[in-house]
Amino acid sequence: MSALNSPYWFEVAVIFGITAVGNIVMGHFEAGVPKWRRVLKIFLIAAMGVVISATAGRGWFFVLLGAVSTAVGVIHFWWLPKHGINGWTGEPRDRYYALRGWK
């Protein structure tokens, strides 16, 4: 069976598309994370999305996507500014790196 005949290609495409845009726009927030962990995270999220879609249905995949998007919004627009860090730029970098435990 080819990938396009798989019923879950759409979920994978959505996850990888969001990840591509997210890495371009917000990749500076992951500067201290090893590359292998960043790649592994993408594949684990894609697998989780397919498993949820396969077991609970595509609607629940989009519920999960909305919940994760909400959590990311809360972190970037409330929690980071609460700790004195710009949620869009990650500045001041020294404060953000200290929050993440990086040097």
The answer to whether 85 and 99 are in contact (CB under 8 A) is yes
pTM, 2 dp: 0.76
The answer to whether 16 and 9 are in contact (CB under 8 A) is no
DSSP annotation of 90 reads: -
Mean pLDDT in runs of 10 for the chain (103 residues)? 71 92 85 90 92 93 94 94 92 90 85
- What pLDDT score was predicted for residue 3? 56
Selection from 68, 88, 70, 69 nearest residue 26 by Cα = 88
- What pLDDT score was predicted for residue 30? 86
What is the token pair recorded at 70?
Answer: 């909400």
